[in-house]
Amino acid sequence: MSSVIKSVSIIGAGLMGAGIAQSIAAAPALIAKGVAVTLVDVGEDRLANGKKIISSSLARVAKKKFDGDKAQADAFVADTLARITFSTDAGLAAAHSDLVVEAIVENLDAKQKLFRDLDTRAPKTTIFASNTSSLPISEIAKSTLSRRDRFAGLHFFNPVPQMKLVEIVRTQELSDTAYASLKDLVVGMGKVGVECKDTPGFIVNRLLVPYMLEAIRMVERGEASKEDVDIAMKLGAGYPMGPFELADYVGLDTTKFITEGWFASGKGLQGKELVSPPASLGKLVEEGKFGRKNGEGFYKY
């Protein structure tokens, strides 16, 4: 049994939050059901940035969808954007939502504070979800008083409009009804949900992060060049990006942050050395080279 999610608030209008809002607003099955979506951030400048991310992603989708017909493409972009409400009031948005998805900064205190506040504003039935990639869902959920059975992880992948997977993270307390509601929403978005336990990195990052780190160590040991490692994994393993291209795409600061957090805590990990932070990753981040987003990481853009 599931209860139908008819209104969703996304908190955080960065790349992930904007992508999630867009994917809901553009999904034909959810449009048919009249699912409402609100994108929330703390200031108008951040909302404007979120809107910009959505517009350019939609334009990319529209260009192909309408085969260069500019009028149709422009209408698609405008109609989809018009289905998203933009707001700076998270409490008000939560008060009218069946689901709140958090996609703010990857910091436990900040996430707990947000959910502690929203717990007092949202109806008892509202489901809370975090898009965290590295923090334990059960730790974030501790900030709510009586919502542990309606608190889950909903982990999307970058670029959200293009990536089909969503990890639905189940804590021990999550109810079957809340899980089924989340799964229905994910299917409505045209994506595929997989069930994950609340373990470090869930499924994808648990495998992807040690893989990227070992690629970095391999180059540090002088066993291959980064260019050859990238070519090898694309042509030899069919990956769309090599590990260095992917690390630059995800962000070296993000990758380092995830790695250091897991390494320091060691909680839930067997083989802590798999996530030991490589020196060259730390050096690039120290130099302010975060990857694609600011023009240089392992490669220059």
Could you list the residues known to form a binding site for CoA, using ranges: 57, 64, 133
Q: Which of 9, 23, 133, 181 is catalytic?
A: 133
Q: In the complex, what is the shortest distance from the CB of residue 227 to ligand 3HC, in angstroms, rounded to a whole number?
A: 16
Task: Select from 170, 143, 257 the least CA-distant residue to 205.
Answer: 257
Is 134 in the active site? no
Nearest-angstrom CA–CA distance, 56 and 50: 10
Q: Which of 131, 134, 143, 205 is catalytic?
A: 205
Q: Which of 130, 131, 155, 181 is catalytic?
A: 155
Q: Looking at beta carbons only, is 93 or 233 nearer to ligand 3HC? A: 233
Q: Looking at beta carbons only, is 126 or 259 nearer to ligand 3HC? A: 259
**Residue at shortest CB range from ligand 3HC:** 133
Is 286 in the active site? no
Task: Select from 148, 152, 178, 181 the least CA-distant residue to 167.
Answer: 152
Q: In the complex, what is the shortest distance from the CB of residue 301 to ligand 3HC, in angstroms, rounded to a whole number?
A: 13
Nearest-angstrom CA–CA distance, 42 and 11: 9
> Which tokens sit at 129?
């979800």
Is 205 in the active site? yes
Q: Which residues contact 128 (CB under 8 A, 6 or more apart)?
A: 99, 100, 102, 115, 118, 119, 122, 141, 144, 147, 150, 151, 152
Q: In the complex, what is the shortest distance from the CB of residue 160 to ligand 3HC, in angstroms, rounded to a whole number?
A: 8
Q: Looking at beta carbons only, is 189 or 250 nearer to ligand 3HC? A: 250
Q: In the complex, what is the shortest distance from the CB of residue 114 to ligand 3HC, in angstroms, rounded to a whole number?
A: 18
Residues in the chain: 301
Is 181 in the active site? no
Q: Which of 9, 23, 167, 245 is catalytic?
A: 167
Nearest-angstrom CA–CA distance, 84 and 107: 26
| 270 within 8 A of 263, measured Cβ to Cβ | no
| 181 within 8 A of 127, measured Cβ to Cβ | yes
Q: Looking at beta carbons only, is 80 or 97 nearer to ligand 3HC? A: 80
Q: Looking at beta carbons only, is 133 or 181 nearer to ligand 3HC? A: 133
Burial label for 90, CB within 10 Å (0-12, 13-18, 19+), is buried
Binding residues for ligand 3HC, rule: CB under 6 A, are 57, 60-61, 64, 133, 157-159, 161-163, 205, 208, 240-241, 246, 250, 254
Q: How many CA atoms lie within 13 A of 228 on its CB side?
A: 6
Q: In the complex, what is the shortest distance from the CB of residue 258 to ligand 3HC, in angstroms, rounded to a whole number?
A: 7
SS3 for 67?
coil
Residues designated catalytic: 133, 155, 167, 205
